[in-house]
Amino acid sequence: MPRKFIRKYMPDHDKIRNHVQLNRIFGNLLHDPNLLHLNRRSVSSAFAVGLFIAFMPIPFQMLLAAAVAIIVRCNLPIAAALVWITNPFSMGPIFFFNYKVGTWFLGTPMREVRFAPSWEWFSSELGVIWQPLILGSLVVGLVSAAIGYGVIRLLWRLRLRNYLRNRRLRFTLQRGNNKDKKGDK
């Protein structure tokens, strides 16, 4: 994992620990070192949290991801950043896909819905499509969280295996060079 690159953009742990409002809400949970550490468990759990919440059609996704990351004790910045998968440009297609998945699971036909950002639309149309939308969001969120968690664990393991193999190879080559130098004397 590109630790140096990620560490450059991570907030200072002391600033988060000493933040008055966060301390009032979360108390001693902010003192957990996993909130900002980059290790396999913390990062893979943060991917699961961030991806799951990203596919939920709820407001304040970053705040919810941060709160869940603190409770689950995973990397807070990564979990909060991943919710931006559903940004204003991608939100429509993602939630439409979630709706399609929900209708497929429920076995109901898809309704043709024309979005209009008005209170009238929310009160009439959202009342009809909320069940398939929520079910589809839960399914897509759970599947993407599981895949994200697994892929990060796998990539981390492969990276570690390559690092150990290269270190072993360097050690073997270095040991071989030292034997050659002793033999020359």
Per-residue pLDDT of the chain (185 residues; tens, 9 = 90+): 456 666 666 666 666 666 666 666 666 666 666 677 778 888 889 999 999 999 998 888 888 898 888 888 888 888 888 898 888 888 878 888 988 889 898 888 777 766 666 677 667 777 777 788 889 999 999 999 999 999 999 998 898 898 888 888 888 877 766 666 665 55
CB 48 within 8 A of CB 148: yes
Closest CA to 4 of 48, 38, 47, 33: 38
Q: Is residue 115 helix, strand or coil?
A: coil
Q: What is the pLDDT of residue 175?
A: 73
- What tokens appear for 3 in the block? 């630790």
> Which domain, by its residues, includes 74?
3-184
- Report how many domains make up the chain: 1
